[in-house]
Structure 1
């Protein structure tokens, strides 16, 4: 068995970077289609969900990314700690870092992976607050390195219309709610305690159709989570995993088929020397 077959014994899939000897890194990076970085959080999601909910989901969906078309991916260890909103920071088990620290840390991690020989990096996110910090870090790295950085949030891969089809008309997409609970059930059902809570309906949305972002210090009803947990089940979790996983693979297929960008430059296009 040659060195590459040892890392991708079936020709494709994800090879963990922690198992790659330093002397084989250049060959593995040269043969890989992309690298994968799951990002999550250690955060309270209610008495029924594990503190590593966002990590379970990010790592679970990351494993789907190289299934289609036999792509060769290299899996980097997940980023476990994140900036967390004020509504979950006071609850037990939440480990929150400051947003400015999160951006700098993520920028260094992303640039390090690109510098190691992986210009294509897929970041699979399981924690909504990461979207802004990861995006800021990606923008910084892309101005310094030739890179194609793809950020996908698993939560957005299933549409609100589809969650309504799965769960019915009651709200299901809140923090720690039926949708997120089902997602964990789809990967690690033993980590969920459905009998630990009764339904805690999320706060109703404002009666307008326009887009908005509302951040409040202590919404009601709220216990660091909210939602109709009675709607969650393993069958729904399997459906969520299949829908979101299939769409992630579609995104990866299209991304890999596209050419890499040109390296960054300090000179704008068309500038005369």
Structure 2
């Protein structure tokens, strides 16, 4: 169907637009160093690109402006061009934005994220807002739409998923090839990942590290286009499955009030005087 930019909706039409829409879209990116070969707006380009890719689906969506200045890891915070927002500030800000969108009447909000550090702040904000109003908030991270196994199938064996690495570079190449500079940038293989179990590992400077790492020699235009196709297809499937779910009830539905809570039994109290 269509994606409607909220900035073009008049005050006279906003109620009808909200009523006719299936969900609102909030793209979230970053302004962050990704190495000498990628633009500072890498994550914002990806968030914008996948938001645009929602057009043509079997739904009507209202798109809010992309949030581009966000929390950034300590690993890249000191590199040129990066703008970093404190994580606690980001949680507060996203909470207010999501609450404002929900108060406009949207019962579903898609947070379309392209920056790894937004996962925790967006999740915290989503949890808070879902307790304030009846709303279903879906966090879709573009880098999770294509599994690691499929990345190897497309780009070849080897580490491709590092910050500014082959996978992320391929994503930007598919949407905005003029911003990518692969010539003259040598491979910078990342440190091997821990393999025992799923985990979150934060290190200040995980050498080898130049604010990015990866084997850029793996990137091809055909591979980039295939990654984009698969991610867009998976995004459409995810949104369709989400929309098939019933809308949420009020967060207080079924919750007993203080007068309804079971009181503990009294001991040593006489019934009559």
Query: Structure 2-normalised TM-score?
Result: 0.92
Is 1:126 equivalent to 2:114 in the alignment? yes
Are 1:83 and 1:97, in contact at CA under 8 Å, matched by a contact in 2? yes
Aligned position for 1:237: 224
Q: 2:10 is matched with which residue: 6, 21, 31? A: 21
- Equivalent of residue 71 in structure 2, options 69, 76, 83: 83
**Structure 1 counterpart of 2:233:** 246
Counterpart-to-counterpart distance in 2, 1:124 and 1:197: 30
Other-structure match for 2:264: none
Write the distance in 2 (CA, Å) between the matches of 1:118 and 1:72: 12
Give the aligned partner of residue 178 of structure 2: 190
The structure whose Rg is larger is 2
Where does residue 267 of structure 2 map in the other structure? none
Moved over 4 A (4+): 269-272
Q: Which residue is 1:220 aligned to? A: 207
Deviation at 1:212, TM superposition (A): 2.2
Offset of 1:269 from its aligned partner?
6.0
For 2:131, the equivalent position in structure 1 comes to: 143
Q: What is the Cα deviation at residue 258 of structure 1?
A: 1.2
Query: Post-superposition shift, 1:196?
Result: 4.2
Question: Per the alignment, in what secondary structure is the counterpart of residue 237 of structure 1?
Answer: helix
Aligned counterpart, 2:103: 115
**CA separation in 2, counterparts of 1:270 and 1:238?**
54
Q: Report the secondary structure of 1:23's partner residue.
A: coil
> How far apart are the structure 2 equivalents of 1:180 and 1:233?
12
TM-superposed CA distance for 1:68, in Å, is 2.3
How many Å apart are 1:66 and its aligned residue?
4.2
Counterpart mapping for 1:25-174 below 5 A: 25-69=14-58, 71-174=59-162
Q: How far did residue 199 of structure 1 move?
A: 0.7
Taking structure 1 as reference, are residues 269 and 190 closer, same or farther at Cα in structure 2, changes over 3 Å only? Answer: farther
Q: CA deviation at 1:267?
A: 6.2
Unaligned runs of at least 5 residues, structure 2 = 261-273
Deviation per residue, 1:190-239 (Å, 9 max, x gap) = 11011141111111123x43222221111110000000011112211111
Q: For residue 195 of structure 1, give the secondary structure of its aligned residue in structure 2.
A: coil
Deviation at 1:32, TM superposition (A): 0.5
Measure, in 2, the Cα distance between the counterparts of 1:243 and 1:269: 46
Deviation of 1:112 (Å): 0.7
Q: Deviations over 1:79-111 (max 9, x none)?
A: 011111110001001100000000000000111
Q: Distance in 1 between matches of 2:22 and 2:248?
A: 15
| Cα root mean square deviation, aligned | 1.5
**TM-score of the two chains, using structure 1 as the length reference:** 0.92
- 1:127/1:246 Cα in 2 relative to 1: closer, same or farther (>3 Å)? same
